[in-house]
Structure 1
Amino acid sequence: MTHTVYDKYPEVAISGYDHDAWQGWEPIIATLRQRLAQQSKATLIVDCYPGVDLNELERHLFPLLTPSLLLNVESARLDKTALHHLLARNLTDDRVFGVLSCHHLNEFFDSQKIENLREQARENQGLTIIYGPGAALVHSGDVLIYADLPRWEIQQRMRRGELGNWGAENRDEDMLRRYKRAFFIEWRVFDRHKTPLLQRADFLLDTTQPGNPAMVSGEALRAGLQQTTKRPFRVMPFFDPGIWGGQWMKHQFDLDPTAPNYAWCFDCVPEENSLLLRFGNVRIEIPSQDLILLQPRALLGDRVHARFGAEFPIRFDFLDTMQGQNLSFQVHPLTEYIQQQFGMHYTQDESYYILDAEPHAHVYLGTKNGIHPQAMLDDLHAAARGEKAFDDAKFVNQLPAKKHDHFLIPAGTVHCSGAGTMVLEISATPYIFTFKLWDWGRLGMDGLPRPVHLQHGEQVIDWQRDTDWVMRNLVNRIEPIAQGEHWREERTGLHEREFIETRRHWFTGPVSHHTGSGVNVLNLVEGDEAVVESPSQAFSPFVVRYAETFIVPADVGEYRISPTHRSQGQQLATIKAWVRGE
């Protein structure tokens, strides 16, 4: 196994704005006082992402700004019963799956109560502070602060029982149901709301660490996001245990040794990950989704942006079953099914790149030749009822897996990673849409039965994906593409039904790359470390280490990857993914 220092807190250093960010309440308050002192009558708007701790703002920020009127916009929000009726079609009765919301935030408020708040603000002659999620619906603000919070931190607060859904008073509800409501409704609605606010905000308030806020000027934030699209960068990964999790990441990435295991690492899922921006001595943590919302064309490229809008369509994550257990046996929905049932416009095609493997490791992929679909479904239903274990050996291909194998998994193909594999999953982004067919009779980490979705899964299994078809189309479709003195390039996938193209480069010297007007995502899958450079010195050299995923924005254009001094004499390899242009 390669041993290197995996960076768990990668930062993007922003130049030119070292004095435009502040850490701690005291300098934040001093900055705001100076700004507000310019006028005797002023309205300060503090709009917030759902999950921001309003109590902390009420205790530590607002009293020291001495407003003559303090208004919480949540007093105008619809009550939880009215919200439930409004959202019932999107919430559904399912524990995991809802329907993506197209609501706008103003629908969640009583229009007359909003107007009453406006009237109070108009009549007040001193400093008015209007705060809370949706505060900008009341007033555009003489000064606008947006208080943001990354999704991973929201989930941690939910798990600790500190946070329910916005307007639901449900912090004791099943975590899966709270996550569902956030994923399908809240985050969609609030991303729509905050995008124009971030484009004009005077300040962004980072509330990720309770009691330790940070703030950056809106000008510096927007300049920092623009600078980020001109260079390679990484988002901040997060790691999570799971019932099937393994031990490889714990040791390789120097994670908490007392944790039972680590199953997941979201190494590049910008919809979920944080982005760390460094302004002088201050580090600002924001959702990396903010970069996509504000700089979609520069990041994604015109072609990808035209197809996907402000969504990052490529996901790299890790699945660790080394000394662990099988993943759940599963299938992903076909395109028409995900569109019609859940309102998502593209599906979760994916692949397993085997970063490492134990002897006798394997993956499950496709059905065996000659099986009867109804017989397999009957067996799965009997297993779901607890009558027996699913007879996987009778119905499903179990294929040996070794380091650097690549298994392609277009939607509709039954699959899962077996025990003893370290998978780099390269896939399309809508990661929540996994239909579990069988979970080996396990309970989840919460002690509850893990949801099985046979009612969905049986609608989308492609029964033509049998042994012969899988071996022809999905296993190690490695094709030599080109080679030079110190490198060779191979196409490794994905399947023609999938929109992602992947290429592997083996190298002992410099390799030239080009974004081709679309975003590139890469991982160093072999070797200690490499350096990414601009032939024209357009960005500073960027060092990547073994197993780190990094993004090269479309605007970068030409770049070069070389071994560092530490890696001289090693055979290195990267795997690169991008959205096909055809």
Structure 2
Amino acid sequence: MPLYEYAHNAKNSIQVSEQTAASVVSGGREVARSILDQIREKYESTKSTVLVAMEGWYGVEWAPLLNEVSALGKSMKIGIETVPAAGLFQPIDLIMRYKQPYLTEDPSFGIVCEDGVIEDLMDEEKCAVLRESLSERRKQQTAKCSGILVFGYGSGSRKLDDLYDLYYYFDYTRQPLLWKMWDGKLVPFGFKSSNPDYNWKEYYYIDHYLLLRQKDYALQRMDYYVECVNPEHPKCMPRQSYDEIIRTLVRYPVKEVKIFQPGNWGAYRYKDLWDVPGLGCNAWNETAGPELSILVDIGNEEMIQMPVMNLMQYPEEFVGRYIHETYPGVLPFDVWLNDGYFDTPQPAERTSMPLHLHPSTDYVRRNFKEPLGRYETYYVAEAYQDANTWLGYREDADLEEWEKLCRESENQIPIENWRDYVIRWDSSEGDLYLIPPGTVHGHGGNQLILEMDTCTSNAGTEYSFFLYDFARKSWEDSTQDMTGRPLKMHTEHGFRMDRCRRGKWVKDHLLAKPRVREWNRDYSTDQYDTVPEMPFHIERIHFEKRGENSTGGKYMQILTLTAGERVVLRSKENPQYQSQIEKWQSVIVPACFGDYELINEGAGSCTVVQLRWKKG
């Protein structure tokens, strides 16, 4: 599945100490020199070989930096040996035997490896041999400064970490990792080179969680943090500096790097709004969520890029106590913009999303061991001629017949009378559709949808159960046209989860209306109707020059500017904590942010749409 990053106005500028800003070393040669300087310093105090762990996330390319360290080491008269941690793993067949219960026979979904750690896949005997060798080298006094670099996933595992004099953690973001995985270039556990047969479910259900638990451990153990998104230009900082950056950043509103994805219903409003090279059509773009990365400016002319989930080191400050205690480790929201503009009229079979539904928390816990179900909302940000949304079943629809047709089709055979079963609702700007689990629905096109949802999986696993996609071909990014294979359906899960909600119930419960909560001469706020099943509120703030809002010290919020040009969010208590967003951009406001102002920096009035958890 292709995706495109878009970093316009994504910079998060924060104020840190001069010492921290000056401590970040950037560039391959400079980072190599820093590592060698640390090795020499350690050697001078021990006069024995210095042992270095270079732990990291999938996707990190080790060769460029290791080559720099080796070459520069010669000129600095420091002997360097490297040991790949890939050699410490069990044989591939044993690794796959470990993974199989989580991969399952289900072609579309797996089961989360809830308790596994990277050591589960490592070979006891191989680790013991390396441990003995490293221990012996460490005991021996040497006349020359030397270091052994154990690099790769597992190098800093609990089986070895007490031996190391220096511990580095190399971080990587999700989007370039996915590019490598889709291109068959990812190097997984136990492999010394890429595995073109790597199964995406291995990452989403197993490897992500083993890497995450190892990262959580490493961030507490490390001496240095290395941002290594660009292998030719890494950025290295002492742990104390990294900790100050995260501790400071979690007190600011946080913008993320957007991603855009083409798709079967992809449209073209994005061409008027953003310049995204290579994007042929836009099904949706994600503006906030746990899968995205952040760019951090600490005032030293270098941008640090890291996963937004690094902020979960301070979970109560970031997501709030209730979410942290109820869903530990989870950033529970996703925000998307679903494109829907076409220059000329198109049939519904082109403009519409697949007809689909989502699972409840109970369903994903029982079937996939995920923590949270998928609860969605569609906010109509712009409505064009023939704007519409599919939501619920017609009162007279024969749902047994519908299920039979979908199962017989499996998206290979057209269902000519599909409109006889699902309801089409005309959309206007400002409409809000509530979409609790088990409700058949789909963006019908000719509208720009601000989609605000719960996020079922921090790994980014998509839990949409497709029932019917009009038996159409899918988007093929390499040729920039609709010549790809039809999408696979999930009729077994879908009809097991289907709540069979019909038109009258949908009209009475899911077509939400806004209710004014506060009005004064500066701004007003409203809150949309909800149903008990939905765990979050959708609210709006309208203002000409200035508005006010608060997290109450307990609600993480995600705000999106849907009317206006630019808005600044600024803390009342600490005005230096601020961020500017542009129209259609989202920002995460951490739970600890408290009372703040919204300041209009453009022409015209502003509307900000807010997503927040109901309980806090």
Structure 2 runs not aligned, ≥5 long: 1-5, 141-145, 343-349, 477-483
Give the whole-Å Cα distance in 2 for the aligned partners of 1:18 and 1:366: 54
Q: Which moved more, 1:82-91 or 1:383-392?
A: 383-392
For residues 430-441 of structure 1, what are the structure 2 equivalents within 5 Å?
430=456, 432-441=462-471
Give the whole-Å Cα distance in 2 for the aligned partners of 1:493 and 1:80: 53
For residues 26-175 of structure 1, what are the structure 2 equivalents within 5 Å?
26-40=29-43, 41=48, 42-65=50-73, 66-102=78-114, 103-124=116-137, 125=140, 126-137=146-157, 138-140=160-162, 141-163=164-186, 165-167=188-190, 171-173=195-197
Tell me the amino acid that sits aligned with residue 130 of structure 2: L
- Please report the RMSD computed on the Cα atoms of aligned residues, expressed in angstroms: 2.1
* Residue 309 of structure 1 pairs with residue 309 of structure 2: no
Tell me the amino acid that sits aligned with residue 596 of structure 2: Y
Per the alignment, residue 456 of structure 1 pairs with: 493
For residues 227-238 of structure 1, what are the structure 2 equivalents within 5 Å?
227-238=248-259
2:22 alignment partner, SS class: coil
Give the whole-Å Cα distance in 2 for the aligned partners of 1:478 and 1:385: 37
For residues 113-512 of structure 1, what are the structure 2 equivalents within 5 Å?
113-124=126-137, 125=140, 126-137=146-157, 138-140=160-162, 141-163=164-186, 165-167=188-190, 171-173=195-197, 178-256=199-277, 258-270=278-290, 272-279=291-298, 280-292=300-312, 294-323=313-342, 325-384=351-410, 386-389=412-415, 391-430=417-456, 432-446=462-476, 447-463=484-500, 465-512=501-548
1:135 alignment partner, SS class: coil
Corresponding residue to 2:611 among 557, 577, 582: 577
Tell me the amino acid that sits aligned with residue 122 of structure 2: F
Cα contact 1:6–1:547 (8 A) shared by 2? no
1:344 alignment partner, SS class: coil
Cα contact 2:399–2:421 (8 A) shared by 1? no
Cα contact 1:199–1:222 (8 A) shared by 2? no
Give the whole-Å Cα distance in 2 for the aligned partners of 1:71 and 1:309: 36
Tell me the amino acid that sits aligned with residue 29 of structure 1: A
Q: CA deviation at 1:62?
A: 4.5
Give the whole-Å Cα distance in 1 for the aligned partners of 2:351 and 2:26: 43
- State the number of aligned residues: 568
2:41 alignment partner, SS class: coil
Judging changes above 3 Å, is the alpha-carbon distance between structure 1 residues 53 and 577 closer, same or farther for their aligned structure 2 residues?
same
For residues 548-567 of structure 1, what are the structure 2 equivalents within 5 Å?
548-564=585-601, 566-567=602-603
Give the whole-Å Cα distance in 2 for the aligned partners of 1:120 and 1:160: 37
1:364 alignment partner, SS class: strand
Cα contact 1:105–1:189 (8 A) shared by 2? yes
Give the whole-Å Cα distance in 1 for the aligned partners of 2:439 and 2:129: 55
Cα contact 1:243–1:444 (8 A) shared by 2? yes
Cα contact 1:492–1:503 (8 A) shared by 2? yes
Q: CA deviation at 1:575?
A: 0.9
Q: CA deviation at 1:210?
A: 3.6
Judging changes above 3 Å, is the alpha-carbon distance between structure 1 residues 39 and 164 closer, same or farther for their aligned structure 2 residues?
closer
Cα contact 1:83–1:108 (8 A) shared by 2? yes
Per the alignment, residue 143 of structure 2 pairs with: none
Residues 362-386 of structure 1 deviation map (CA, whole Å, 9 limit, x = unaligned): 1110111132321110121232263
Cα contact 1:438–1:452 (8 A) shared by 2? yes
Give the whole-Å Cα distance in 2 for the aligned partners of 1:154 and 1:425: 25
Give the whole-Å Cα distance in 2 for the aligned partners of 1:493 and 1:142: 58
1:346 alignment partner, SS class: coil
Q: Identity percentage over the alignment?
A: 20
Structure 1 runs not aligned, ≥5 long: none
Scaled by the length of structure 1, what TM-score is found? 0.93
